[in-house]
Amino acid sequence: MVADAQVQNDIAVDSSEEQDLTDGFHLLIEALQLNGLHTIYGVPGIPITDLGRMAQAQGMRVISFRHEQHAGNAAAVAGYLTGKPGLCLTVSAPGFLNGLTALANATTNCFPMILISGSSEREIVDLQQGDYEEMDQLAIAKPLCKAAFRVLNARDIGIGVARAIRAAVSGRPGGVYLDLPAALFGQVMDAKEGAASLLKVIDPAPRQLPAPESVERALGVLRGAKRPLIILGKGAAYAQADDIVRDLVERSGIPYLPMSMAKGLLPDDHPQSAGAARSLVLKEADVVVMVGARLNWLLSHGKGKSWGAPGSKKFIQIDIEPGEMDSNVEIAAPLVGDIASCAAALLEGMGDNWAAPPAEWLAMVEEKRSVNLAKMAQKLGADTTPMDYHSALAALRLVVKDNPDIMLVNEGANTLDFARSIIDMFEPRKRIDVGTWGIMGIGMGAAVAAAIETGNRVLCIEGDSAFGFSGMEIETICRYNLPVCIVIFNNNGIYRGTDVNPTGNEDVAPTVFVKGIRYDRMMEAFGGIGVHATSRDGLDAAVRAALESGKPTLINAVIDEASGTESGRIGNLNPQSVVKKK
């Protein structure tokens, strides 16, 4: 059959006048559209410039960036928000490598995306004869993503796209690389056969039901709990099982802790939120139910001082990835399956007469929570000049409270740590941040995807250093006229702006920037609105005006250069030298 088809293809090429023909370009675009993928984030160039043009002409949304990493970050965020793979399109070798950072980051975060890269001629690349942008891209991508495929024949484009989609979204989602050599795009074949070669993936992310005995085991552990805790991770947010997750939390009566991107799955002011009693609940809980969260560095690997006495905890873990179980500590009750199915099974097993956790435990959590909330309220009350993190965030906190539907993008060191704990979220999947790696540079890519995919307004809270990684994409934001308001917490440097070079020579310290940068003027250069804000009231007014107008806006918020700590809250990860040089 395949051989026949090939013969027919050859005939088709020869007698092109009589036959309707299609080619690699069109087949790829149609394969994507057939699967409901209508947006491409990328950077044009050889050999995919025409692909972008034609995709736009065929009705796809093609969003061009200034650098591939940001296009890739946008695709990853699109995947997270929609549950469909976000698409990133790059040129060969260098463009591909720029996109690869985002693909690896997406994979680490369990976000579905597909990096589609053009590549140079296989025959020349494999003989290392020095082609334009020569690189064995498939081999390089493989260890950095969930799956990698190359399509050599136009008739395989449909299958290639289908495999990429299924690999990206089934099981634990992740990044997929699709290698398309330049020669593929121009390959022609009979249009009818071409259309027949495309497929719409059926049930790309099938439900995965937990085994009944696993559910029983989990309920058994939960029944014996005296101080239970639920931890919600971004896997739970990704799963879009919002009602059922909320049901599980509320019907169990168990205090819960949201990981940063799970904030808003239940509103942060929910009475069961233990966010303000985080240290206490991690230390004191005896049974911890992990829902789409991993026991990685963000949770001190589930052990050590912050988790109380060794052996004092039993873990129940819901995850779609069986290999995640026991990654760091023993999981007493692994529940392998998708979150909606696992939560539904637990709810069914709990029935209507599930006993609330012991009142003593709830009182202990509540007491800590109210003490900490009061302390925080006091800190937020101080209106300092220049602004510090608390006074600036006190304003933004209220803006988000008044506009719970806006998308919040947040990166930086101190800017991230403070904003995460100070700004309450009220709706699911509204907060996008640095994720599992704690990566810098997701800001503008995430903002673009958040605006495009949701149609909502976006508030980006950026450290000045973090902004620098993707800052040029404010041109992209202006070009597409996206309702994005960027607030830069400008404290003249990385962590702080006060470091000095101890040698006294003319170079400044490695962590400081030009003092008093006017980032707002960059925005004006691209036709956006720039605001220089030196007070809390000024910041508040500017953000509200930006959200009201929906116009691309950048607010340069001047923060005391002495406020901020080394590496924010993860300074403990810095190795310290014990050697004193004379």
Q: How far is the CB of 488 from Mg ion (least distance, A)?
A: 9
Nearer CB in complex with ligand ADP: 239/542: 239
The listed partner (ligand ADP, Mg ion, none) that binds 556, CB under 5 to 8 Å by sort, is: none
Nearer CB in complex with ligand ADP: 239/394: 239
Q: How far is the CB of 240 from ligand ADP (least distance, A)?
A: 8
Site string for ligand ADP, 81-120 (x = CB under 6 A): ----------------------------xx----------
SS3 457: coil
Compute φ and ψ for 278, nearest 5 degrees: -55, -50
The listed partner (Mg ion, ligand ADP, none) that binds 463, CB under 5 to 8 Å by sort, is: Mg ion
Q: How far is the CB of 421 from Mg ion (least distance, A)?
A: 18
**Contact assessment for residue 256 and residue 229, using Cβ atoms and an 8 Å cutoff:** yes
Instruction: Give residues with Cβ within 8 angstroms of 437, minimum separation 6.
Output: 105, 108, 109
Nearer CB in complex with ligand ADP: 296/511: 296
Q: How far is the CB of 267 from ligand ADP (least distance, A)?
A: 17
Q: How many other CB atoms are found less than 10 A from the CB of residue 135?
A: 17
Q: How far is the CB of 231 from ligand ADP (least distance, A)?
A: 7
Longest dimension (CA), the chain: 84
Report d(CA 517, CA 506) in Å as an integer.
19
The listed partner (Mg ion, ligand ADP, none) that binds 110, CB under 5 to 8 Å by sort, is: ligand ADP
Q: Count of residues binding ligand ADP (CB under 6 A)?
A: 24
Site string for ligand ADP, 303-342 (x = CB under 6 A): ----------------xxx--x-------------xx---
Q: How far is the CB of 2 from ligand ADP (least distance, A)?
A: 36
Report d(CA 394, CA 14) in Å as an integer.
70
The listed partner (ligand ADP, Mg ion, none) that binds 560, CB under 5 to 8 Å by sort, is: none
Across 168-270, the runs of DSSP E, i.e. the strands, are: 175-181, 188-190, 228-232, 256-258
Q: Rule CB under 6 A: is residue 530 a binding residue for ligand ADP?
A: no
Report d(CA 447, CA 443) in Å as an integer.
6
Report d(CA 70, CA 208) in Å as an integer.
33
**Contact assessment for residue 169 and residue 114, using Cβ atoms and an 8 Å cutoff:** no
Site string for ligand ADP, 274-303 (x = CB under 6 A): ------------------xxx-x-x-----
Closest CA to 195 of 30, 360, 52, 320: 30
> Which parts of 216-275 interact with ligand ADP (CB under 6 A)?
233-235, 238-239, 259, 261-262
Nearer CB in complex with Mg ion: 19/498: 498
C-alpha pair distances (Å), 201 with each of 31, 35, 84, 165, 205? 10, 7, 12, 8, 10
Q: How far is the CB of 374 from ligand ADP (least distance, A)?
A: 27
Report d(CA 328, CA 298) in Å as an integer.
12
The listed partner (Mg ion, ligand ADP, none) that binds 133, CB under 5 to 8 Å by sort, is: none
Closest CA to 295 of 323, 333, 332, 328: 328
The listed partner (ligand ADP, Mg ion, none) that binds 174, CB under 5 to 8 Å by sort, is: none
Q: Rule CB under 6 A: is residue 489 a binding residue for ligand ADP?
A: no
The listed partner (ligand ADP, Mg ion, none) that binds 26, CB under 5 to 8 Å by sort, is: none
The listed partner (ligand ADP, Mg ion, none) that binds 491, CB under 5 to 8 Å by sort, is: Mg ion
SS3 61: strand
Q: How far is the CB of 241 from ligand ADP (least distance, A)?
A: 7
Closest CA to 116 of 79, 81, 141: 141
Q: How far is the CB of 8 from ligand ADP (least distance, A)?
A: 42
Q: How far is the CB of 274 from ligand ADP (least distance, A)?
A: 15
Q: How far is the CB of 171 from ligand ADP (least distance, A)?
A: 8
Q: How distant is the alpha carbon of residue 388 from its chain centre?
A: 27
Residue nearest to ligand ADP (CB): 235
**Contact assessment for residue 392 and residue 557, using Cβ atoms and an 8 Å cutoff:** yes
Across 7-152, the runs of DSSP E, i.e. the strands, are: 21-23, 39-42, 61-64, 86-90, 113-119, 147-150
Q: How distant is the alpha carbon of residue 332 from its chain centre?
A: 29
Instruction: Give residues with Cβ within 8 angstroms of 78, minimum separation 6.
Output: 39, 41, 84, 86, 87, 113, 449, 452, 453
Q: How many other CB atoms are found less than 10 A from the CB of residue 528?
A: 24
The listed partner (ligand ADP, Mg ion, none) that binds 319, CB under 5 to 8 Å by sort, is: ligand ADP
Q: How far is the CB of 384 from Mg ion (least distance, A)?
A: 17
Nearer CB in complex with ligand ADP: 22/260: 260
Report d(CA 453, CA 462) in Å as an integer.
21
Site string for ligand ADP, 422-461 (x = CB under 6 A): --------------x-------------------------
Nearer CB in complex with ligand ADP: 198/339: 339
How many Cα neighbours within 13 Å face the side chain of 469? 24
**Contact assessment for residue 472 and residue 66, using Cβ atoms and an 8 Å cutoff:** yes
Contact residues toward Mg ion (CB under 5 A) are 463-465, 491
Partnered with residue 266 across adjacent β-strands are none
The listed partner (Mg ion, ligand ADP, none) that binds 341, CB under 5 to 8 Å by sort, is: none
Chain residues binding ligand ADP by CB under 6 A are 109-110, 172-173, 233-235, 238-239, 259, 261-262, 292-294, 296, 298, 319-321, 324, 338-339, 436
